[in-house]
């Protein structure tokens, strides 16, 4: 049944219709206005509900853990468990000291981040700027203990990373890691 007809029937029951069962012209106008107001009110409530849901929804940022290792399962020495981590803006990377004597020092990044953790301590960074972040373990950088975090699949600063400082085995490893991104 059409909503207008339903409202007319309600008016009939309330005794507000003419003798023939048809509403007066003034009643039809009132019914239409009431229906429009109900529709607007429903839409406003729906919009308010949608806004409330978005404002109250917790963030869906991811957490990535990278271990600092003396030796990985393949026998590679002085490595991070994940040499290239890909995350989204707002995600957090945590470096865990699975072996003693390691840290994280940011060498190059799109926002010129200055960060150096203490040896054998957990380090945590939330990435808010897209791009490539290049870091190393300060005591083992010459042994090739480096890593990259790619934020938002943004490779726009790849040339800056390629020309950043690298020592010993880190030089070759940096080239290899960057080539894997292309």
User: Could you read off the pLDDT of 61-109 as tens digits, one per residue?
Assistant: 789 999 999 999 999 999 999 999 999 999 999 999 999 999 999 999 9
Q: Which span out of 40-44, 60-64, 154-158 was modeled with the highest average pLDDT?
A: 154-158
Residue 158 structure tokens? 């790849």
Domain stop point among 31, 56, 81: 56
- For the chain, the domain total comes to 2
16 and 46 share one domain: yes
Residue 116 structure tokens? 């150096």
Distance CA 120, CA 157 (A): 30
| Nearest one of 105, 119, 117, 116 to 164, comparing CA atoms | 105
135 and 163 share one domain: yes
Is 12 a residue whose pLDDT tops 60?
no
What pLDDT band is residue 49 in, cutting at 50, 70 and 90?
low
Q: In what helix (H) or strand (E) does residue 69 lie, and over which residues does it extend?
A: strand 63-71
Distance CA 138, CA 142 (A): 9
Phi-psi region of 76 (alpha: psi -120 to 50; beta: other; left: phi over 0): beta
Torsion angle defined by CA atoms of residues 168, 171, 177 and 180, in that order, rounded to the nearest 10 degrees: -140
164 and 75 share one domain: yes
Domain that holds residue 31: 3-56
pTM of the model: 0.68
Is 27 a residue whose pLDDT tops 90?
no
Cβ 167 vs Cβ 105: under 8 Å: no
34 and 72 share one domain: no
Distance CA 5, CA 18 (A): 15
Cβ-based neighbour number of residue 123 at 10 Å: 21
């Amino acid at each position: 049944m059409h909503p207008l007809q339903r409202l007319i029937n309600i008016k009939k029951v309330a005794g507000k219709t003419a003798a023939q069962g048809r509403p007066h012209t003034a009643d039809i106008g009132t019914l239409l206005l009431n229906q429009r107001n109900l529709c607007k009110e429903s839409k406003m409530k729906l919009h308010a509900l949608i806004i409330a849901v978005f404002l109250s929804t917790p963030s869906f940022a991811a957490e990535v853990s990278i271990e600092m290792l003396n030796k990985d399962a393949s026998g590679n020495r002085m490595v991070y468990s994940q040499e290239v981590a890909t995350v989204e803006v707002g995600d957090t990377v945590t470096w865990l000291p699975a072996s003693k004597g390691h840290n994280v020092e940011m060498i190059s990044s799109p926002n010129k981040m200055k960060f150096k953790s203490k040896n054998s301590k957990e380090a945590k960074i939330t990435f808010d700027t897209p791009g490539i972040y290049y870091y190393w373990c300060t005591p083992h950088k010459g042994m090739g203990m480096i890593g990259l975090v790619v934020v938002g699949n943004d490779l726009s600063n790849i040339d800056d990373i390629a020309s950043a400082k690298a020592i010993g085995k880190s030089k070759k490893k940096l080239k290899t890691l960057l080539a894997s991104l292309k």
